[in-house]
Amino acid sequence: MSVPEFDSRELVIVREDPGMWGLPPTPVYSYPCSMKEAMKAAYRKEPYWQMFGVDQKMMTPAVIPDNAARAFVFEAQKFEPVTDGTVPDMFGIEWEFVPAVGGSMVRPGKPFAEDAGALLQKLVWPDPAAWDWEGSAKANNETYLKSENYNTITFLTGWFERLISMLDFEGALMALYDEDQKDAVNEFFVRLSDLYIDILGRCIEAYPEVDGFSIHDDWGSQKETFFSPELCAEMIVPHMRRVTDFLHGKGKSCDFHSCGQNLRQVPNMIAAGWDSWFPQTIVDTQKVYELYGDKILVGVDPKISRENKTDEELRAEAKSFVDRFMQPGKPCFFHYTMDCCTRSFRDALYEYSRRKAASAARQ
C-alpha cells in the first residue's frame, strides 16, 4: 500500500481501547488503513505514522503450559491464575506465584539438576502435538484474534531463562562459563530450539491472524548484563538465530523481550535476528536508538513530562520527538512515558508523523 496524503478527518477518534497494566486507554483514530497494515509497514522501517508499543495486540494462549505456570494467560477465555500453590510448566518444573511481583518464579534452592550434563540425563521433553491446539484455535480465532489487529504471541522462558528454571541462577550462569559443561549446554539449546520451532510452527498453523512473536530471555540486572557479550555470542546467539530465521521464513516479526541493563548486548540481539527490542527504562533507550536504531526497532522512552506545559508546548514536543526518532529508515516505537499523551500531544504526534511519512513516500 502506498502512503496516502493526510486527511484532517483522520483525527476523528472512533473508539478507545482499554489500556493494560494500568496504562490509560488508547484512542483509535480514523486511520487510512488497518493497524495490521500500519505495523507491518513499521517493521519494514517504512512507517505510515509514529507507532506506539501498545499498538500490538498481545496473546499468550493457555494451550502452552508455560503461560499458566507463569500466571500470564491472555486470550479469549477468562483465566484465573493459581495464587496458592505451584503450577508445572511444559517440562514439569513447578512455578510459584509471587504476589509482590505479580508473577511466578521457580523457588530457588532445590534445582531440578546439578549441572547441564545431569540435566540432559534427567529431562523428559514435552510433546506439543498432545496439546489442544484445535480447541485453542476455535476459542481465539475471529474472537480474540481479529484480522484488523497486529497480533503477536508472547512466548515466555527462552534459552538462559529456561536454564535458570532448571539449574537455578548460579548453576545456569556457571554452566555457560564452565568448559566442561559447554557441550551439554549447547546440546540442550539445540534440542530446545527444535522444540521452540515446533511450538511456534503449531501457533502459526493454529492462529492464521498471528503476525509476530515476542520471545522472552532476560539477560541482565539493573546495573549490568549477566554475562559478557562474547559469551552470549558463543553460547546463545546461534540458537536464537535458528528460531528467528524460522519465523522470518514464515513472514513473522520477531521481538526480543529482555529485561536488564543490556545496552552492551544489542549487537548480539541484532546478530540473533531480532527485529525489535523494548528496553526497560533503566536503559538509556534514546542512546540505544542513536547507536542501533537503523538495525533494530527500539521502544524509545520520550522522557517528556506534561507538567506546567501548555497545549502548544506539548504539540511542539510531539513534533520534536517525530523529527528526532522517526528518521528515514530508522523509525522507533513510542513507549513507556504516557503522562505526556494528552489529546493535543497525540493529535500533533499523529498528524505530524502522518504528514512526514506521506511526504517521504512522494520523494
Each of the 363 residues of the chain gets a pLDDT tens digit; together they read 678 899 999 999 999 988 877 778 889 999 999 999 999 999 999 999 999 999 999 999 999 999 999 999 999 999 998 988 999 999 999 999 998 888 899 999 999 999 999 999 999 999 999 999 999 999 999 999 999 999 999 999 999 999 999 999 999 999 999 999 999 999 999 999 999 999 999 999 999 999 999 999 999 999 999 999 999 999 999 999 999 999 999 999 999 999 999 999 999 999 999 999 999 999 999 999 999 999 999 999 999 999 999 999 999 999 999 999 999 999 999 998 888 999 999 999 999 999 999 998 888
**Bridge partners, 257 (sequence order):** 216
Burial of 117 by CB count in 10 Å (0-12 exposed, 13-18 middle, 19+ buried)? middle
If we measure between CA atoms, which residue out of 320, 313, 241 comes closest to residue 286? 320
Residue (of 351, 345, 317, 290) closest to 48 by Cα position: 351
State residue 226's pLDDT score. 98
- What is the reported pLDDT for 338? 86
Question: Does the global pTM surpass 0.75?
Answer: yes
Compute the CA torsion angle 216, 219, 221, 225 (nearest 10 deg). Answer: -160
- What's residue 1's pLDDT? 65
In terms of Cα–Cα distance, which of 144, 155, 148 is closest to 255?
155
pLDDT value at residue 25: 85
